[in-house]
């Protein structure tokens, strides 16, 4: 059994006759008939009922055709993949990011990127910083975006994406919403929604309040900024969050206010150490850099105008 025999069989099944199949394959009708006979001998299958001037598929022929079609779908996908490789050096892009960014910044970057690269297959994987780092180290993902660096123990190369000061997140009708700046003493005795204990930023935030001698009521904890925003919008407390998420929650019943002293929120891109040149990854990374710079500028403008 060889490819030319399979092609002849498929052409007959699709066109209904050996003559039409010959036209599609740019060969002669006897060559098509010969290939069909050879295929039947090679497979041990009776593929067609034969009558003068007509071939009718047998049940075996129809079942075999279904398998042939499945194989051809796979070949067509390989053909498309080859085209993408010729254009971009890779036909797919696997992105890993922490949830805070996977819900907002990353999708916005992908939208901008896809406008110039509409044929690229993109998959997004979400986990905390350690998991994202492991995925990049194992080359399961091409690029990672994390809020905490754990690069020392892994074969990854970090590249700082941005650093911005955290903001205080308040219910829209909260008594502190009228203030232009929030300081630790403003939150004395307030219900506070904290990051999870394993989050490194949790310790930085707690330290600021310890130094100021301020006691908060930590009533709720979550590792996810999206959950924290939902809880704040329901009036369940106050929090300090990454200001990059502001764009995602502008229509919610919450307000963002600059917090002083500034608590730095850092974000880094990760790449596998020693990776080969990949134009697709490099182009997405550049798109993400530009977008992050624009959104950090928006944050700074907000600080100046509150």
pLDDT tens digits, residue range 282-294? 999 999 999 999 9
Q: DSSP string covering 168-212, please?
A: EEEETT-GGGG-S-B-GGGGTT-EEEEPPTTSHHHHHHHHHHHHH
Residue 109 or 20, more confident: 109
pTM for this structure?
0.65
Q: What is the mean pLDDT of residues 102-120?
A: 91
Q: Of 42, 51, 74, 55, whose CA–CA distance to 12 is shortest?
A: 55
Q: Of 45, 47, 34, 46, whose CA–CA distance to 5 is shortest?
A: 34
Rounded CA-CA distance 197/291 in Å is: 30
| 162-201 confidence digits (pLDDT tens) | 999 999 999 999 999 999 899 999 999 999 999 988 777 8
Q: What is the mean pLDDT of residues 133-162?
A: 84
Q: Would the pLDDT of 151 be above 60?
A: no
Rounded CA-CA distance 7/1 in Å is: 11
CB 60 within 8 A of CB 46: yes
Count CA within 13 A, CB hemisphere, residue 233. 12
CB 125 within 8 A of CB 131: no
Q: What is the mean pLDDT of residues 8-31?
A: 89
Q: End-to-end CA distance of the chain, in Å?
A: 75
């Amino acid at each position: 059994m060889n490819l030319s025999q399979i092609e002849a069989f498929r052409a007959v099944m699709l066109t209904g006759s050996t003559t039409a199949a010959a036209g599609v394959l740019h060969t002669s009708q006897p060559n098509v008939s010969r290939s069909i006979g050879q295929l039947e001998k090679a497979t041990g299958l009776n593929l067609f009922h034969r009558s003068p001037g007509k071939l009718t598929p047998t049940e075996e022929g129809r079942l075999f055709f279904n398998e042939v079609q499945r194989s051809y779908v796979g070949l067509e996908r390989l053909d498309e993949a080859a085209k993408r490789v010729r254009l971009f050096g890779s036909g797919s892009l696997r992105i890993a990011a922490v949830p805070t960014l996977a819900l907002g910044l990353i999708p916005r970057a992908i939208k901008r990127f896809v406008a110039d690269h509409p044929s690229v297959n993109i998959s997004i994987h979400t986990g905390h910083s350690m998991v994202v780092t492991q995925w990049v180290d194992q080359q399961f993902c091409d690029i990672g975006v994390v809020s905490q660096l754990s690069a020392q123990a892994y074969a990854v190369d970090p590249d700082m994406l941005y650093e911005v000061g955290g903001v205080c997140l308040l219910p829209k009708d909260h008594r502190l919403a009228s203030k232009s700046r929030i300081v630790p003493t403003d939150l004395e005795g307030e219900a506070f929604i904290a990051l999870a204990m394993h989050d490194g930023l949790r310790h930085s935030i707690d330290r600021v309040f310890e130094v100021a001698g301020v006691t908060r009521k930590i009533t709720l904890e979550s590792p996810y900024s999206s959950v924290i925003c939902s809880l704040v919008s329901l009036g369940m407390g106050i929090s300090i969050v990454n200001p990059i998420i502001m764009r995602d929650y502008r229509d919610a019943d919450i307000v963002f206010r600059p917090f002083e002293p500034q608590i730095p929120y850092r974000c880094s891109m990760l790449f596998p150490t020693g990776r080969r040149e990949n134009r697709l990854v490099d182009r997405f990374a550049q798109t993400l850099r530009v977008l992050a710079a624009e959104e950090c500028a928006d944050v700074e403008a907000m600080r100046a105008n509150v």
